[in-house]
Chain A
Amino acid sequence: MTLHLLHFSVFRDARGCDAERVETDAPTPLALCAELFGAAVPAQPEAWARVAVNDAFAGWDVRLAEGDTVVFLAPSAGG
């Protein structure tokens, strides 16, 4: 399936782009994170990061679908 990815913060630095389209069989954001970042990401991203699917917070084990937009969210630091 094709997914749209938006990247911010350290995830953007790691991928070297703001957005991209990927072909993947990763069924969940957790699997997709491992596929994209592998060992470069600290273990258990679900413990320190969040994920959004289609502009809403989502669980790391939600089932991804064709055309979804996925964003990995490093800890916020506004203010």
Chain B
Amino acid sequence: MTFLLSAEPLDAAACRAALVALAPPGAAGGVVAFEGLVRNHAEGRSVESLEYHAYDALALSEGSRVMDEARERFAVEAVCAVHRTGHLALGETAVWVGAAAAHRQAAFDACRWALDEVKARVPIWKREHYADGPAEWVAVPRIAP
């Protein structure tokens, strides 16, 4: 699997090892990885924690599709990503995306493109818990109950 969801804290070393294992032995000359962390502020508000909820079946298939497309678009040997679900504390890793390639430019480009596509396309939703008010879903319109 090139795209996974995890309810447990992410281990960056394990993610990197999994990425390298996806590449043909000896083919990768470099690895670029991005780790998204839970930060303590958003849009001027103090954030205390985050929740990520995923529609698992579609998130896994669409996330894997993004990784497949990244391999087709860029000269990379492997691309993979893991996204957290559940309630995360400040500083925890929310998402890990990595690309391995013969040359660095393709790895940088593929990593950035894959992250952007995951954020835009994979059905995962973020709920921010604020210090000064009730938690809210991010980037979605309000629906009256």
Contact = CB atoms under 8 A, between A and B. Distances in A.
A, B in one complex? yes
B25 interface: no
A14 B137 CA distance: 12
Contact of B145 (A6, A13, A42): A13
Given A14-B143, A75-B140, A6 B95 contact: no
A62 interface: no
A79 B139 contact: no
Given A76-B120, A78-B122, A79-B95, A55 B58 contact: yes
A50 B122 CA distance: 11
Interface in A29-57: 37, 39-42, 48, 50, 52, 55-57
Interface residues of B, number: 32
Interface residues of A, number: 27
A79 B125 contact: no
Contacts of B17: none
A77 B140 contact: yes
B-side interface mostly: mixed
Contacts of B120: 76
A16 to B, nearest CB: 7
Interface string B79-96: 000010000000000110
A16 B123 CA distance: 19
B7 interface: no
A75 B122 CA distance: 9
A73 B142 contact: no
A2 to B, nearest CB: 20
From A9, A11, A48, A56, residue with most partner B Cβ within 10 Å: A9
Contact of A76 (B95, B119, B127): B119
Interface in A1-16: 6, 8-11, 13-14, 16
A37 B143 CA distance: 8
B144 A79 contact: no
Interface of B: 36, 52-55, 57-58, 61-62, 83, 94-95, 115, 118-127, 137-145
